[in-house]
Chain A
Amino acid sequence: DAGITQSPRHKVTETGTPVTLRCHQTENHRYMYWYRQDPGHGLRLIHYSYGVKDTDKGEVSDGYSVSRSKTEDFLLTLESATSSQTSVYFCAISAGRATDTQYFGPGTRLTVL
């Protein structure tokens, strides 16, 4: 299994509070991604990174920001959480190109009350 961990695995927070989710990899892969998974929508890309300090927006980036200061860590921040951001968040990594096989973390279940 690819070495990808996500923390926390579960979080309950209140509307308006900031939340940061962490993805950590031990594979030294160049690309890292954040997705959200919701019933009826499948998997939607939030942001991705193609190197340290290099990031780009995905399909549903509004309300989210990311940072990557080290190869192994990719942080997803909800500046002011809303109930619509209740979801399961997955981190993924890929080696050489954005189109290479992606390896997924175990997910973080976030509930915004």
Chain B
Amino acid sequence: GNSVTQMEGPVTLSEEAFLTINCTYTATGYPSLFWYVQYPGEGLQLLLKATKADDKGSNKGFEATYRKETTSFHLEKGSVQVSDSAVYFCALSDQGNTPLVFGKGTRLSVIA
């Protein structure tokens, strides 16, 4: 079945450091891929998405490129801020009518 694997957290970075959170997936066909973010005390919200191979999703300085050859969708940001501290979830859809499949989440803490 479909699955998403994210790097284990927590990840702790200093402000202005470069961020990478790894995400790999297993799916049949050509899924769409998503990154959701959960700020403390809130529900998840969509950060970015990509719907086909080689697409790059971007938002708020975050980027992720859909790599079909490596079945990956790694999240990157060039310079993190304290306000980026949150839990990040990778997810996929199989283009069918079944709900999204989420990874377990990666907690990011950014210190000043």
Interface residues, chain A, CB within 8 Å of chain B?
4, 31, 33, 40-43, 45, 48, 50, 58, 90, 92, 97-99, 101-107
Contact = CB atoms under 8 A, between A and B. Distances in A.
Contact of A43 (B32, B89, B93): B89
B35 to A, nearest CB: 11
A84 to B, nearest CB: 18
30 contacts: A4-B43, A31-B99, A33-B99, A41-B104, A42-B102, A42-B103, A42-B104, A43-B44, A43-B102, A45-B99, A58-B99, A92-B43, A92-B44, A97-B97, A98-B93, A98-B97, A98-B100, A99-B95, A99-B96, A99-B97, A99-B98, A99-B99, A101-B34, A101-B49, A102-B36, A102-B46, A103-B46, A104-B43, A106-B42, A106-B43
A98 B99 CA distance: 5
Contacts, number: 55
A50 B96 CA distance: 13
A7 B111 CA distance: 34
A111 to B, nearest CB: 16
B105 A104 contact: no
Interface of B: 32, 34, 36, 42-46, 49, 89, 93-100, 102-105
What 8 pairs between A and B have smallest CB-CB spacing?
Answer: A104-B43, A99-B93, A42-B104, A43-B102, A104-B44, A42-B105, A98-B99, A101-B46
